[in-house]
Amino acid sequence: MNDIIVDPSGIILFANGQYRCAIGKGGYTHDKEEGDGATPFGRFLLREVYFRADRVARPETQLPVFSLCPDDGWCDDISHPQYNTKISLAFDGGHEHLWKDDHIYDVIVVIGYNDDPIIVGKGSAIFMHIARPDYSPTEGCVALVQQDLLSVLRDCVPGTAIRIGL
């Protein structure tokens, strides 16, 4: 099994490497709800990678990789039919901008949480992304420093999953 293991202590184990990570400010949860700030327990496939080509080189990985654009976003609006999907801005529902002024979304790995099927209200935009320098908690994502995230991605292939807290 080629799974990325997120230990409850905030350590990732993968491909003979060990990496520090940040998780959601709400800790871990078995009952994820939109906006709770928690990181969901479970095993989820990695879907695809997005990156800011104006800031970082294309990540080396066998996962699908796409360049971000300034009008990219992610719908987090529980009343919108595009809930928990990538969208283009301007957008009439609640959303998160993927093109950020800070660097946390310079590389984004979409975690296949609540996407097959999508259950409205069970959480959206769960990613692996770049950690802030102080490893401050995320809104529910898993975050690593850029060098570590790129190292993990080098060993990811289609079918790689992340096991969070299991």
Give the residue numbers marked as catalytic. Answer: 129, 141
Given a contact cutoff of 8 angstroms between Cβ atoms, the answer to whether 129 and 103 are in contact is: no
CA dist 73 and 56 (Å) reads: 19
Torsion of CA 111, 63, 105, 19, to 10 degrees: 80
CA dist 22 and 35 (Å) reads: 17
CA dist 79 and 77 (Å) reads: 5
